[in-house]
Structure 1
């Protein structure tokens, strides 16, 4: 199948398929005499695997590790368990950060009842103050892999 057919079969944009090829997650496909990429069923299965991992917010490195174990099934799976445990810990840390962010926003929202003019708005006044050291940090989406996390 050609790249457009693979894209349609897996609900994956063509650009993302090419990206995964460049990153070495998808093997190089055969080429037709007209130099079109020709993908096999194995490409579609691997792409579904990658997309499932991406839906779980896994990084490309995590996916590489899982694919290595998938491709070499005689390896012990304890490394797979450790990877998932580490990823789960990362998700739990992000959840804690987001909960702290939520609490900070709720507190900020409580500073204004919306009945004053903007010059007396408690939210605007609070936002004008220096940041306290205890301000929650929100994970940078790019730190756990680019728009790659949601592009594929």
Structure 2
């Protein structure tokens, strides 16, 4: 199948498929001699669907690469897979805590202004302008790599 067909089958964009090939998550496609079009196999389709499911779980490319490697070695122990998922779950839990703190801060802001004023008299802007604001929880540098987190963790 051509790249457009693969894109339709998986819900990926053509650019994403090319990117996954470039970074090595997806094997390079065969190319036609006459027109240089990429042609993908059923294996490409299965791998791309697997990658999409992992991305839906906010896994990094490095984590996905580890899982893909484990799929290629089906007789090996799955302990590394279990550890990877346990670590990822901790990152997700840390992100949830960050989001809950953010929610609290936004609630505080929202409560500063309950009616329409001029911008000069807006309680929200005044609160954001305060130099010493004991209501804010300063974001902690987290080891989270989950999308949207403040600090991305890279394995060495």
TM-score range, shorter chain: 0.7 to 0.9
**Does 1:3 pair with 2:3?**
yes
TM-score using structure 2 length: 0.84
Higher helix share: 1
Rounded to whole Å, the distance in 1 between the matches of 2:132 and 2:55 is: 34
Aligned match of 1:47: 48
- The 3-state SS of whatever aligns with 2:112 is coil
Q: CA deviation at 1:36?
A: 1.3
Q: CA deviation at 1:15?
A: 0.5
What number of residue pairs does the alignment pair up? 144
- The 3-state SS of whatever aligns with 1:49 is helix
Aligned match of 2:109: 108
Which sections of structure 2, spanning at least 5 residues, go unmatched? 141-147
Rounded to whole Å, the distance in 2 between the matches of 1:72 and 1:92 is: 30
TM-score using structure 1 length: 0.86
| 1:18-48 deviation digits (Å, cap 9, x = unpaired) | 0000010111121212221111000000000
Rounded to whole Å, the distance in 2 between the matches of 1:36 and 1:91 is: 40
Aligned match of 2:96: 95
Aligned match of 1:143: 152
Taking a change above 3 Å as real, the CA distance of residues 131 and 33 of structure 1, as seen in their structure-2 partners, is farther
Q: CA deviation at 1:115?
A: 4.7
Rounded to whole Å, the distance in 1 between the matches of 2:40 and 2:118 is: 62
Contact 2:70-2:81 at 8 Å conserved across structures: yes
Q: CA deviation at 1:118?
A: 3.0
Which sections of structure 1, spanning at least 5 residues, go unmatched? 146-152
Aligned residues: CA RMSD: 2.0
Rounded to whole Å, the distance in 2 between the matches of 1:109 and 1:40 is: 53
Rounded to whole Å, the distance in 2 between the matches of 1:116 and 1:14 is: 48
Aligned match of 1:30: 30
